[in-house]
Amino acid sequence: MGSKSSNSTTQNITTNDRQIAVDNGLGIAGDGNILTITTNNTSTDHGAIEEAAKITLQSIDANSTALKDVLTANALSQKQAYDFSLKVNDSAFAAIGEAHSVTGKISSEAMKAVENANKTALTETEKAWSKADETNRLAVQSINSAWNNAKAAADGKTLGDLKPIMFAVIGVFGLFVISKGGWR
């Protein structure tokens, strides 16, 4: 790249002029006069292109070094991020395992509590049915007794047409007692 640019131009101008110059009656005439002007123009970049090429090469070298540094730093950053994500994943899986263990224990305890509640509910329901049965038995006994007393008091009059109504009342009463869970 050691070259320097230059340019040289030569210009020849030939003029044949037949002019007359007059001043206060005095004139000068010329014929066949030749005027020759030679101009040599030389242009140069004074080594600017060579220096620009050097600066460009230095910039390319600097950019290449910077790019290598960026790629190295990026690779290191990605490796560190990957290693960190592995640690996070391991911690997450460990926490999930612990959570499953705790959930299993809680679920087991909850199932035992539900089982105990069901046993208690069944026992209480059986007691309520037993009370309802006893109450119904006593109610039927009382109604029978009242029926017999009313029959004896009627002097021979019969209440036979009222028997279905009485059984319906007893049935409704019994269902009411059962639906309410017995006497308390």
Q: Which helix (H) or strand (E) holds 129?
A: helix 48-153
Give pLDDT, residue 23.
66
What are the structural domain ranges in the chain?
125-179
Radius of gyration of the chain (CA): 63
CA dist list (Å): 10 to 5, 7, 100, 120: 17, 10, 97, 124
Q: Specify the pLDDT at position 162.
A: 65
**pLDDT of res. 182:** 58
- Tracing tokens 């050691």 back to the chain, one arrives at 2
184 residues of the chain, pLDDT tens digit each: 455 666 666 665 555 555 655 667 665 556 655 555 566 667 777 888 888 889 999 989 888 898 898 889 888 999 998 889 889 888 888 888 888 888 888 888 888 888 888 888 888 888 888 887 787 777 788 777 777 766 766 655 555 556 667 777 787 787 777 777 655 5
Segment 22-34, tens digit of pLDDT = 667 665 556 655 5
Yes or no: say if 52 and 45 are a contact pair by the CB < 8 Å rule: no
Element (H or E) spanning 38, and its range?
strand 33-44
Return contacts of 93-102, CB within 8 angstroms, 24+ apart: none
Rounded to the nearest 10°, the torsion over CA 101, 104, 105, 107 is 150
The rounded distance, in Å, linking the Cα atoms of 12 and 9 is 10
Predicted pLDDT of residue 181: 67
| Amino acid 90: pLDDT | 87
> How far is the C-alpha of 152 from the C-alpha of 144, rounded, in Å?
12
pLDDT tens column, 132-161? 778 777 778 877 777 776 676 665 555 555
Question: How far lies 39's CA from each of 8, 36, 163, in Å?
Answer: 10, 10, 151
Task: Give the rounded distance of the alpha carbon of 139 from its chain centre.
Answer: 68
Backbone angles phi, psi at 2, to 5 degrees: -75, 5
